[in-house]
Amino acid sequence: MNRYALAAGFALSVLAFPGAGRAGPGAPVFQWRQTLNMPKRANLPPDAKVDILGIELGDTLLEARAKLAKFRVKYPPQERMTIYQDSTGTIAPKESAYVSDISLSMDRMGTGNSPIQDTVIVYFSAPASGSQVIGVRRLVYYHNNPADEPRISDILNQISSKVRGNPEKGARVYGTNYDLGDYYFVFDDGQYFRRVGSYSAAQSKCDANIAEQWQMNANPTGKCDIVYKVIFNHGPTGSDPGISPDHAHTIQFVLSDNERTWRNRTADGEFFNAYVQDMKSRAAAIRL
């Protein structure tokens, strides 16, 4: 995505810390206000259905909550509150705390003697950018349930049919003999994106960067707006093998809106910086 193409079209208002909420003549109380509303499905082809368990990139916190609440599970979704911290490490006041992610355990009994472990985590930006879904991660572990292991080819075919594109396989630079493969579905500027040449050569620059430490550096090339990464594992020569080379013992689905992450994190940071500058411009009165 050309980051200047959308310009300020998503902006709702200029960045200025609101005067409302001031506690007397002192410093203003920190209060989030939305300044950016990046549309859902931005940078996706019109016919592509890209989601994990129905959770879509760009869903609001309220929308994601409603979708997760529909699953019949033993324990309710767990929300994590995070006090905002900018890229320099500056920590905002406690009033800045927002829901940074929601996790849901969907463990269930399989045909074996252990539960199939199934966990999904949904990641959100801060409220200045609308508390939008910027990434989803799901991990499924078929421990002691070999008869329940899905076929890798079936999973890839199902995803390909939904997203209207075929995956590219990435080489693992950190692999062991338990690794089976990483597969990538990449979108850029509203089109399915296929890399020319080796995908692994630029893998570190075009990956699913929803990990906390990468969020300000997501999509550095500007050519991988959205990445859907599927990671399969089994141990053909070690413990916990898949029942065949086409069966996975562990599957991780990672859906990352790298461009939305970059834009939303930028908007959140600019809002917080406006608050910091407002604080710096104030001088506390001293009685002499």
- Confidence band for 207, pLDDT divided at 50, 70 and 90: low
Q: What is the pLDDT confidence band of residue 132, given thresholds at 50, 70 and 90?
A: very high
Do the Cβ atoms of 245 and 236 come closer than 8 Å? yes
Q: Is residue 210 very low, low, confident or very high in pLDDT (cuts 50, 70, 90)?
A: low
| Total residues found in the chain within this entry | 288
Residue 130 pLDDT: 98
End-to-end CA distance of the chain: 57
Tally of CB atoms within 10 A around 40 = 16
Q: How confident is the model at residue 155 (pLDDT cuts 50, 70, 90)?
A: very high
User: What is the bridge-based pairing of β-strands 250-257 and 133-141?
Assistant: antiparallel
- Average pLDDT on 238-255 reads 80
pLDDT at residue 45, rounded to an integer: 95
By C-alpha distance, which of 243, 256, 227, 238 is closest to 179? 238
Q: Residue ranges of the domains in the chain?
A: 51-280
Return the half-sphere exposure (C-beta side, CA atoms, 13 A cut-off) of residue 36: 26
Asked whether the predicted pLDDT for residue 170 surpasses 80, the reply is no
pLDDT at position 53, please?
97
Residue 21 has pLDDT above 50, yes or no: no
Task: Say what the pLDDT of residue 277 is.
Answer: 87
